[in-house]
């Protein structure tokens, strides 16, 4: 279990997260939603320690995450940032870098690391593209390559910051199905989302952030039945008879 205990963090003088306490479980896909600037990305960066906390702590399986070294943190939690570059390397080379925190100087990837990278590409369904340079791939496939890298990192939790950005609806659904698959394999998936129906239809739980605090964190059906979305976004999510969610603009 990954727990945030009264976490506050921000940039310089400005405090973005204000005493956030919540938990994320392994084997579950959690979507974090909220308006622009409410602290969704800040929450992920705070968990990882990229952004130092002004107060509170992050606990993973009973251990204070930020008392660990960067390498140790990277063995517990993988993170895919929002703005990803297209590095000049092949898919396999990038996925192999998921093994980076597991090695010490001078870092040389061994056959065992290569096998883990191949398996990760297999799980994500991009093994046949192993030799392809990343810049030759579509945005959706490149996103999958990043996810394979996070998978090769072999962590219990994977944090993703708006992974569906720039993807068409077909690739968005494909990506969400992949995240569900990873959650079903026991990973704790925590992803920042903007598309509410996508978040509600695929997630086990949804965390709603407003002004730096988690105002709701529950199963989609529970959030759907409350007024929190109306208060935060001014919209209402409806649940269809086929258990799918949609909302009107």
Partner 1 sequence: MRCYMKSLPKNKIANIYGIAILLLILSAVLGVLLGASGISLTDMLSSLVKGDIESPEVKILLYVRLPRILSGLICGAALAVSGAVVQGVLANKLASPSIIGVNAGAGLAVILCSAFGMIGGWSLSAFAFIGAFLTVMLVSIAAKKWGASRGTVILMGVALNALLGAISDTVITFNPDVSVMSNDFKIGDFSSVTYAELIPAAVIVLITFLVLITLSNELDVLTLGDENAKGLGMNTSLMRVVFLLMSALLAGAAVSVCGLLSFVGLLVPHAVRRMAVTESKHLIPLCALFGAGFVAVCDTLARVVFAPYELPVGIIMAFLGAPFFIFILIRGKGGHRNA
Size of the site for partner 1 (CB under 8 A): 48
Segment interacting with partner 1 (CB under 8 A) among 5-13, 42-50, 187-195, 224-232: 42-50
Using CB under 8 A, pick the residue from 9, 33, 74, 176 that binds partner 1.
Answer: 74
Q: Nearest approach, Cβ of 172 to partner 1 (angstroms)?
A: 21
Cα(117)–Cα(75) distance, integer angstroms = 15
Our CB check for partner 1 shows the closer of 21 and 71 to be 71
Our CB check for partner 1 shows the closer of 14 and 108 to be 108
Site string for partner 1, 203-242 (x = CB under 8 A): ----------------------------------------
Q: Which of residues 113-152 bind partner 1 (CB under 8 A)?
A: 115, 118-119, 121-122, 127, 130-131, 133, 135, 146
Using CB under 8 A, pick the residue from 108, 240, 243, 249 that binds partner 1.
Answer: 108
Q: Nearest approach, Cβ of 204 to partner 1 (angstroms)?
A: 23
Q: Nearest approach, Cβ of 115 to partner 1 (angstroms)?
A: 7
Site string for partner 1, 54-73 (x = CB under 8 A): ---------------xxxxx
Q: Which of residues 189-208 bind partner 1 (CB under 8 A)?
A: none
Q: Give the C-alpha distances (Å, rounded to integers) separating 226 from 52, 73, 105, 209, 245.
A: 33, 36, 52, 15, 14
Count, residues in the chain = 249
141 contacts 131 by C-beta, under 8 angstroms: no
Q: Is 109 in the site for partner 1 (CB under 8 A)?
A: yes
Tokens, residue 216: 């709701």
Q: Give the binding site for partner 1 (CB under 8 A).
A: 45, 48, 50, 69-75, 78-81, 83-90, 92-94, 97-98, 100-101, 103, 105-109, 115, 118-119, 121-122, 127, 130-131, 133, 135, 146, 153, 159
């Amino acid at each position: 279990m990954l727990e945030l205990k009264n976490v506050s963090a921000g940039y310089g003088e400005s405090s973005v997260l204000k005493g956030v306490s919540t938990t994320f479980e392994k084997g579950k896909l959690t979507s974090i939603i909220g308006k622009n600037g409410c602290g969704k990305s800040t929450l992920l960066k705070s968990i990882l320690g990229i952004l130092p906390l002004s107060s509170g702590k992050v606990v993973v399986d009973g251990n204070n995450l930020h008392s660990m070294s960067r390498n140790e943190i990277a063995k517990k939690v993988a993170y895919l940032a929002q703005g990803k570059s297209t590095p000049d390397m092949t898919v396999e080379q990038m996925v192999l870098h998921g093994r980076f925190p597991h090695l010490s100087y001078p870092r040389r990837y061994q056959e065992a690391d290569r096998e883990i990278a191949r398996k990760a590409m297999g799980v994500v369904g991009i093994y046949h593209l192993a030799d392809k340079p990343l810049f030759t791939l579509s945005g959706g496939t490149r996103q999958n390559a990043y996810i394979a890298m996070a998978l090769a990192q072999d962590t219990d939790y994977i944090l993703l910051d708006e992974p569906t950005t720039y993807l068409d609806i077909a690739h968005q659904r494909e990506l969400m199905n992949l995240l569900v698959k990873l959650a079903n394999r026991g990973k704790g998936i925590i992803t920042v989302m903007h598309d509410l129906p996508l978040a509600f239809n695929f997630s086990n739980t949804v965390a709603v952030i407003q002004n730096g605090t988690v105002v709701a964190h529950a199963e989609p059906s529970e959030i759907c039945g409350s007024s929190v979305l109306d208060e935060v976004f001014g919209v209402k999510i409806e649940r269809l008879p086929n258990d799918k969610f949609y909302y009107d603009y």
